C-alpha cells in the first residue's frame, strides 16, 4: 500500500480547480488539507461549494498562506498561481520555509536556471536549508518538448541534433487556451498582441535549456519566432467560430545553436483545426530515434496529471530545486 | 564541461566489446582504466589487440577482478557477463566492496526484487554500506518494455491497463541474436529448446514487475507464453537463410493480472522478416496514450548506449540497488 499524501492546493484558477478535482478523486492516495487563493469570491467558502460538489469537505479556501501551511502540515503543495517566477517567488519561499515540498505549474520554474540564475540559486538554497524539494513541471514545458525528448535519447549514441514537433488542436481544448493562442482574432490583432511580448507559449526557451543541460550541450544562442496560423476555412469550436483569413492559433518555434550549429529545434503549433496533432521527437542519432505520441498529449488533462504524478517523486527526492530531468521518470500515480 | 569518468569494462563478450568501442570513442568524457574477462585467449593482451585497433591503449585484459578494481580506482564498472543474477552476484559484491558503482546488462538485475528477493536485499545492503549504486539496465529489459511505458503514463490519470508491443526484425541484428530467437531451426527443434526453459527472451517478468511497482499496482499472477513465428516465405539475412515453414523467431508474451483483471500485457516479437518493427506503448488512460517509436529501437546499438548513458546517473545517484524507474530519466551522454 502506498503512502497517503497530505496536499495543499495553492491557486484555484482553471488548472488549480482541475487539480483539486483530481486530488479529491483519489482519496486512498491523497488527502486535501488546505486551499489557498486570493479571490474574494472564493475565500471563506468550503472548497466543495467552489467546485459545485454536493458534500462539504471541511476545507475552507483561505488567502492566508502562512496560516494554512502552519496548521495543515502538508507533504506537498500543488502550486498553480502564475506562469512567471518573479511573481510567485515569495510563495515558493514561504512553502519551503514551512518545510513543504512543492510541485508547481509555473512555466518559468520548469527550468529556471538560465532566465533567473539568482532566483534559482536562492530557491535551491532555501529548499536545501529546509529539506524540501521544489519542482516546476507540466506537460509543456516539463514533458512533451523536453523531458520526453531527453528520455528518447536515452537509448542513443552520437546524437547530433534533436527536433521536437508538438501540434495541438486548440479546438479540442478549453476556452482560455483557445483565447491564449489568439483563435478568432485578426492578423492585425495578432501583430499587436505579439508586440506586447506577452503573447505566445511560455516555456520554449526553458525546454531548450533543459535539453541542452541534460545532453551536456553548450548553447550560446536561442532564437524564437512567433507566427500566426491563418485559417484557410471556417472552423467552429464549442466556444468560437474562426472565419477564413482569421487567426486560428500560433506557430511558435525556437532554435538552440552552438555557434553556427543548430542543435535543438522546437516546433510548436497550437491552433483550431490542426490536422496532424501529435508530439514527435526526432533525434539525428545512432540508432536513429523517431518517437511519436499519436494524436498528441492532451494538455488540459495531462498538465494536471503531471502535477499529481510528481507528488511521490517530489516527496521522495533529495532536497533542492529540481527539474523534470533531475527526478526519476514520471509515472501515473494513484490509479488503483 | 562535464566530469570525465573512469571506467572498467567487466566482461568482453559481444556487448562488452561494443561497450569498449563506445567508451574509447568518447575520450573527452570517458577514460578506460581496466578490462576484466576470463577468456584465456584475451587475458594478458592489450585491449587494442583484442578489438583490432591500431594503437595500443596500455589497458591489459585481466582475469583478476579484485586486482583491477584495486589498482584502477574506477568511478564505474560496465558489467556485461551474464543474464542471470545468481551467476554474477559475487561480481557485483566485489565491485561494491571496492566502492565502485555498476551499470550492468544482466537482465535479471533490471528488476531483481521479485525473482531474487534475498539477493536483492543483500545487494542493496552491500551497496549502501559501500556508498555505491548498482543498476541493471539495457534496452529490454530496462527501457523499451518498462521504463518507457512508465514514462508514457507520467502525463496520464486513470490508467486502467498498459499494453506494450515490441516487434524486432531479427534479420537486421547480429548473428547471436538471430540464433537466440531460433531463426532457421525447425518447429520441432523450437519445441525442444523451449522445453529446456532456457529459451526465449529474458526479462518480460522483470518488466512487468517494474511497471507494477512503478504504478503502485498489485500483481498476483504473471503468465508467460512462448511461441515460434513460422516463416511463410524464404527470408535471407547476411548470416542465415530461413526456409518457408522454418522458425523465423519468437513470439514471447506475458501478462500481469490482479485477480481476474489483466493490467499489463507485454507482446514481444523478434523474428527475421518482421514487417512492422516498432516499440509501442498503449495505455487505457485519461488522456489516452499511444506512444510509438517508429521502426523500433535498434537493440544492438541501443543496449550499449543505455549502459553508457546511465554512467553519470549512477555515479550521481544516492547509494543502493536501483532500477531504471529509480534514477532520473536517461538521456544521451558524451555526444559532444
Q: What is the mean pLDDT of residues B80-108?
A: 94
Mark whether A159 and A274 lie in a shared domain: yes
CA distance B192 to B231: 18
Using 50, 70 and 90 to split pLDDT, how confident is the model at B175? confident
Tell me which of A275 and A30 has the higher pLDDT: A30
**DSSP letter at A156?**
-
The pLDDT assigned to A114 comes to 94
Q: What is the pLDDT of residues A214-266, one digit of tens each?
A: 999 999 999 999 999 999 999 998 899 999 999 999 999 999 999 999 999 99
Q: What is the pLDDT of residues B256-291, one digit of tens each?
A: 999 999 999 999 999 999 999 999 999 999 999 999
Instruction: Report yes or no on A96 lying in a domain.
Output: yes
DSSP reduced 3-state for A177: helix
Q: Confirm if B289 and B162 have CB atoms less than 8 A apart.
A: no
Using 50, 70 and 90 to split pLDDT, how confident is the model at B2? low
Q: How far is CA A237 from the centre of its chain?
A: 24
CA distance B3 to A332: 33
Start-to-end CA distance of chain B, whole Å, equals 10
Whichever domain contains B51, its CATH number is: 3.40.50.720
Q: What is the mean pLDDT of residues B234-246?
A: 92
Domain extent, residue A36, equals 5-138+301-322
Question: How many residues comprise chain B?
Answer: 336
Give the three cell numbers for residue A260: 553556427
Give the three cell numbers for residue B259: 485477480
Task: Say whether residue A305 is in contact with chain B using an 8 A CB cutoff.
Answer: yes
Chain A residue numbers touching B294 (CB-CB < 8 A): 290-292
Instruction: Report yes or no on B43 lying in a domain.
Output: yes
| Separation in Å, CA A58 to CA A19, A20, A171, B35 | 18, 14, 37, 64
Mark whether B188 and B316 lie in a shared domain: no
Report yes or no for ipTM above 0.90.
yes
Query: Does the predicted TM-score (pTM) go above 0.90?
Result: yes
Give the three cell numbers for residue B239: 548470416
Beta bridge partners of B35: B9, B61
Instruction: Report yes or no on B245 lying in a domain.
Output: yes
Picking from B110, B332, B334, B336 by the largest number of A CB atoms within 10 A of its own CB, the best residue to mutate is: B332
Instruction: Report yes or no on B270 lying in a domain.
Output: yes
CA distance A95 to A97: 5
Q: What is the mean pLDDT of residues B129-133?
A: 98
CA distance A270 to A200: 10
Q: What is the pLDDT of residues A110-150, one digit of tens each?
A: 999 999 999 999 999 999 999 999 999 999 999 999 999 99
Interface touch A155/B330, C-beta < 8 Å? yes
The pLDDT assigned to B314 comes to 98
**Percent of residues, chain B, with pLDDT higher than 90:** 91
Task: Say whether residue B302 is in contact with chain A using an 8 A CB cutoff.
Answer: yes
Residue position matching grid coordinates 531460433: B182
The pLDDT assigned to A108 comes to 94
Instruction: Report yes or no on A332 lying in a domain.
Output: no
Q: Does pLDDT of B197 surpass 90?
A: no
Instruction: Report yes or no on B188 lying in a domain.
Output: yes
Mark whether A159 and A90 lie in a shared domain: no
Strand segments, DSSP code E, in B85-189 are 101-104, 133-136, 157-169
Interface touch B309/A155, C-beta < 8 Å? yes
CA distance B56 to B54: 7
Task: Say whether residue B28 is in contact with chain A using an 8 A CB cutoff.
Answer: no
The pLDDT assigned to A2 comes to 64
Q: What is the pLDDT of residues A51-79, one digit of tens each?
A: 999 999 999 999 999 999 999 999 999 99
Q: What is the pLDDT of residues A158-184, one digit of tens each?
A: 999 999 999 999 998 888 889 989 999
CA distance B272 to B182: 10
Q: What is the mean pLDDT of residues B329-336?
A: 96
Q: What is the pLDDT of residues A279-329, one digit of tens each?
A: 999 999 999 999 999 999 998 899 999 999 999 999 999 999 999 999 999
The distance between the two most distant Cα atoms of chain A, rounded to a whole number of Å, is: 61
Mark whether B187 and B305 lie in a shared domain: no
Chain B residue numbers touching A151 (CB-CB < 8 A): 148, 151, 329-331
Strand segments, DSSP code E, in chain A are 5-10, 30-36, 61-62, 76-79, 101-104, 133-136, 157-169, 221-230, 235-236, 241-242, 247-258, 261-271, 278-286, 289-294, 320-322
- A123-129's contacts with Cβ under 8 Å and 24+ in sequence apart are A123/A89, A123/A92, A123/A93, A123/A96, A123/A321, A124/A320, A124/A321, A126/A92, A126/A93, A126/A96, A126/A97, A127/A96, A127/A319, A127/A320, A127/A321, A128/A319, A128/A320, A129/A96
Mark whether B10 and B66 lie in a shared domain: yes
- A120-123's contacts with Cβ under 8 Å and 24+ in sequence apart are A120/A321, A122/A93, A123/A89, A123/A92, A123/A93, A123/A96, A123/A321
Mark whether B182 and B264 lie in a shared domain: yes
The last residue of a domain, from among A280, A296, A312? A296
Mark whether A90 and A10 lie in a shared domain: yes
Closest-CA distance of chain A to residue B244, Å: 30
| Separation in Å, CA A328 to CA A317, B26, B118, B124, B307 | 9, 26, 25, 18, 17
Chain A residue numbers touching B151 (CB-CB < 8 A): 148, 151, 329-331
By Cβ distance, the residue of B2, B139, B157 closest to A301 is B157
Task: Say whether residue A190 is in contact with chain B using an 8 A CB cutoff.
Answer: no
DSSP reduced 3-state for B279: strand
CA distance A205 to A266: 9
Closest-CA distance of chain B to residue A188, Å: 35
Give the three cell numbers for residue A278: 501529435
Instruction: Report yes or no on B251 lying in a domain.
Output: yes
Peptide bond into A174 cis (omega under 30): no
Mark whether A157 and A281 lie in a shared domain: yes
Tell me which of B195 and B82 has the higher pLDDT: B195
By Cβ distance, the residue of B301, B309, B324 closest to A286 is B301
Q: Does pLDDT of A1 surpass 80?
A: no
DSSP reduced 3-state for A309: helix
Mark whether B124 and B158 lie in a shared domain: no
Chain A residue numbers touching B333 (CB-CB < 8 A): 216
Give the three cell numbers for residue B126: 552491500
By Cβ distance, the residue of A283, A289, A327 closest to B328 is A327
By Cβ distance, the residue of B144, B324, B331 closest to A153 is B331
Task: Count CB atoms within 10 A of the CB of residue A262.
Answer: 15
CA distance A231 to A22: 35
Interface of B with A in 227-266 (CB under 8 A): 258
Count Cα neighbours of A225 within 13 Å in the Cβ-side half-sphere: 9
Q: What is the mean pLDDT of residues B313-317?
A: 97
Q: Does pLDDT of A90 surpass 60?
A: yes
**DSSP letter at B46?**
B
Q: How far is CA A298 from the centre of its chain?
A: 12
Total domains present in chain B: 2
Whichever domain contains B216, its CATH number is: 3.30.360
Beta bridge partners of A105: none
Instruction: Report yes or no on B328 lying in a domain.
Output: no
The pLDDT assigned to B83 comes to 81
Dihedral of alpha carbons B162, B114, B151, A159, sign:
negative
Mark whether A161 and A249 lie in a shared domain: yes
By Cβ distance, the residue of A144, A292, A318 closest to B318 is A318
Interface of A with B in 118-147 (CB under 8 A): 139, 143-144, 147
Q: Does pLDDT of A155 surpass 90?
A: yes
Mark whether A291 and A305 lie in a shared domain: no
Mark whether A119 and A192 lie in a shared domain: no
Count Cα neighbours of B175 within 13 Å in the Cβ-side half-sphere: 4
Beta bridge partners of A321: A134
Amino acid at each position: 500500500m502506498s503512502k497517503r499524501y497530505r496536499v495543499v492546493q495553492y491557486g484555484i484558477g482553471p488548472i488549480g480547480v482541475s487539480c483539486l478535482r483530481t486530488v479529491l478523486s483519489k482519496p486512498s492516495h491523497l488527502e486535501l488539507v488546505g486551499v489557498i487563493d486570493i479571490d474574494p469570491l472564493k475565500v471563506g467558502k468550503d472548497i466543495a461549494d467552489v467546485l459545485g460538489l454536493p458534500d462539504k469537505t471541511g476545507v475552507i479556501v483561505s488567502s492566508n498562506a502562512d496560516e494554512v501551511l502552519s496548521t495543515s502540515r502538508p507533504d506537498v503543495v500543488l502550486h498553480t498561481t502564475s506562469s512567471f517566477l518573479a511573481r510567485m517567488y515569495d510563495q515558493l519561499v514561504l512553502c519551503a520555509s514551512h518545510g513543504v515540498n512543492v510541485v508547481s505549474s509555473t512555466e518559468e520554474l520548469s527550468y529556471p536556471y538560465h532566465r533567473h540564475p539568482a532566483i534559482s540559486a536562492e530557491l535551491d538554497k532555501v529548499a536545501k536549508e529546509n529539506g524540501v524539494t521544489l519542482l516546476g513541471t507540466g506537460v509543456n514545458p516539463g514533458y512533451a518538448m523536453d523531458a520526453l525528448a531527453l528520455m528518447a535519447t536515452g537509448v542513443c549514441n552520437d546524437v547530433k541534433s534533436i527536433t521536437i514537433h508538438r501540434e495541438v488542436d486548440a479546438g479540442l481544448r478549453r476556452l482560455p487556451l483557445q483565447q491564449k493562442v489568439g483563435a478568432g482574432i485578426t492578423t492585425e490583432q495578432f501583430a499587436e498582441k505579439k508586440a506586447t511580448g506577452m503573447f505566445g507559449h511560455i516555456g520554449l526557451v526553458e525546454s531548450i535549456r533543459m535539453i541542452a543541460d541534460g545532453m551536456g550541450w553548450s548553447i550560446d544562442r536561442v532564437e524564437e519566432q512567433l507566427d500566426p496560423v491563418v485559417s484557410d476555412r471556417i472552423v467552429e469550436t464549442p466556444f468560437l467560430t474562426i472565419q477564413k483569413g482569421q487567426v486560428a492559433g500560433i506557430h511558435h518555434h525556437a532554435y538552440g545553436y552552438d555557434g553556427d550549429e543548430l542543435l535543438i529545434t522546437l516546433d510548436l503549433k497550437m491552433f483550431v483545426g490542426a490536422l496532424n496533432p501529435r508530439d514527435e521527437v526526432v533525434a539525428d542519432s545512432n540508432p536513429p530515434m523517431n518517437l511519436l505520441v499519436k494524436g498528441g498529449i492532451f494538455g488540459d488533462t495531462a498538465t494536471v496529471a503531471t502535477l499529481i504524478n510528481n507528488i511521490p517523486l517530489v516527496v521522495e527526492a533529495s532536497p533542492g530545486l529540481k527539474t523534470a530531468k533531475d527526478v526519476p521518470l514520471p509515472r501515473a500515480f494513484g490509479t488503483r
